Amino acid sequence: MRLSTQDYIVFLLYFIVVSSYGYWIYKRKKSSESTATDFFLAEGSLTWWAIGASLIASNISAEQFIGMSGSGFAMGLAIASYEWMAAATLIVVAIFFMPGYILNKIYTMPQFLEKRYSKLVATMMAVFWLLVYVFVNLTSILYLGAIAVSTISGFDFFYCTAFLALFAIVITLGGMKVIGYTDVIQVAVLVLGGLVTTYLALELVANQFGTSGMLAGLNKITEQAPTHFHMIFDESNPHYKDLPGLTVLFGAMWVANLNYWGCNQYITQRALGASLPTARNGLLFAAFLKMLMPIIVVLPGIAAYVLHQQGMFQAEMVDSAGTVKPDKAYPVLLNLLGPGLKGLSFAALTAAIVASLAGKANSIATIFTLDIYNKYVDQSAGEEKQVRIGRWAIILSMVVAVLVAPQLQRLEQGFQFIQEFTGLISPGVVAIFLLGFFWKRATANAALVAALATIPLGFGMKAFLPDIPFLDRMGWAFLLLLAMMVVISLLDPKSKNNPKALEVNPSLFKTTPFFTIGALLILGVLAALYIVFW
């Protein structure tokens, strides 16, 4: 075993604290948890700091700790665009999307589509989301998490997937209140443990070059890997296909982020049960936390790259065929930490994985129960039965993920796999939602065509235009679907007086001075980062 007794004690303490706090929240809230809305949304129960922490705890998972660190090893700081541009996207979602959701009492994304377009569009997208959530997101999170846990602990890969899934199920069965408040602990652990790992990784680099101190280590990785500190790639860069230049600032990176942060049940669910000011402040807090993530998940990958170039862990970083596996960078780095510290970092990684699994599973249960089961299986299902069906959906989705996760072991960079395959539906989803919110003439037929076309269009462009970077393909697909929806809607004479159109009051986009100052601060820091690391 690679974990010492001190490590197991630290990890066990983390496990006990999270489980006990979750059980306490469940018992304390149980008397008021009488409705399915309480179970799925924790309506009115989450504070702004709990919403923000839960957003980040659910978002930051193995795909960041393992997948993004692996991409940091392979391509450098540029992969941080997914994190830093997400901070800007959270501000946009808070200002322009949240009023439409909250004031229209939207609890699920398919519910919005039914209200704005039609039941058929809502059902089709609900099925799409369930398939992506189970077979791409949930499965890949479990796969990447099990790689890390297995590498660090030495336990068998399958047993690690089973443990992570079971831990997540225990938290998820308590409902969104338990998830939301335990996520506060989870995000504290993952930030603290992540920062400790980054600090020690930079110290290790400094020691390797005969110096000491975190800042000395940071200077050394910038000196030894200067190509790993460019945010914007040109076409000569071997990783241009993953991050194609200005696309990350002005192109389809916005499509990917708006889909994830603005049209995604898994994320927006945390804010949907709150008041508008509380939801906005929660998203702003999440944006601040998001700015920290590259320090925690990307810098260790770059440090591992520099150490690998210096001849360290040559055997640990390769597979049986002798191929360097970037996704092993973070787990291998953790194995260099001392007793107790490894346990803290291991707990941070586990916290990220379990919180993300729990959030995803709850969203799967919410969509399945409210948008599939209630509408097509048992329309008369009472509140208690809805909660019971939701819990079974959680368990079954986790079982499927445990069985499918081993099939992903052939991946080279897990983070890129997640982005590319999620990107198959992102263009259609963003086109449908944007026009649904902000263009009254968008019709149900137009949305239906976009929903049907998005996946075939994505696969078609991948097959016939393989040399175009996937983010650029996503951008072109978005523009084509947007144009298609506009044309179809304009050809329908009924669109001029569309009864399904949402009333948009510009005054709703006005924010408080606190939010405005915080948003401007974030955008200023982002501008400075891109100028410095262009």
pTM of the model: 0.82
Strand, helix or coil at 239? coil
Averaged pLDDT, 481-493: 93
Residue 167 pLDDT = 82
For 107-132, write each residue's pLDDT tens digit.
778 888 888 898 898 888 888 888 88
End-to-end alpha carbon distance in the chain: 43
- Is a pLDDT exceeding 90 seen at residue 248? no
Take residue 226 and report the two structure tokens written for it.
């200067």
| 445, HSE (Cβ side, Cα atoms, 13 Å) | 12
What span, in angstroms and rounded, lies between the C-alpha atoms of 202 and 418?
28
Strand, helix or coil at 365? helix
Averaged pLDDT, 484-493: 92
For 386-406, write each residue's pLDDT tens digit.
888 888 988 899 899 888 887
- Is a pLDDT exceeding 70 seen at residue 31? no
Averaged pLDDT, 299-307: 86
Listed residue (525, 416, 507) closest to 88, CA to CA: 525
Instruction: Identify the band that residue 15 occupies on the pLDDT scale cut at 50, 70 and 90.
Output: confident
Residue 360's CB is within 10 A of a number of other CB atoms, namely 27
- Is a pLDDT exceeding 70 seen at residue 35? no
- Provide the residue ranges of all domains of the chain, joining segments of one domain with +: 42-422+504-532
- Is a pLDDT exceeding 80 seen at residue 272? no
Residue 417 pLDDT = 59
Listed residue (41, 107, 134) closest to 364, CA to CA: 134
Averaged pLDDT, 244-270: 82
Residue 1 pLDDT = 45
For 159-203, write each residue's pLDDT tens digit.
888 888 888 887 777 666 666 667 777 777 777 777 888 888 888
CATH of domain 42-422+504-532: 1.20.1730.10
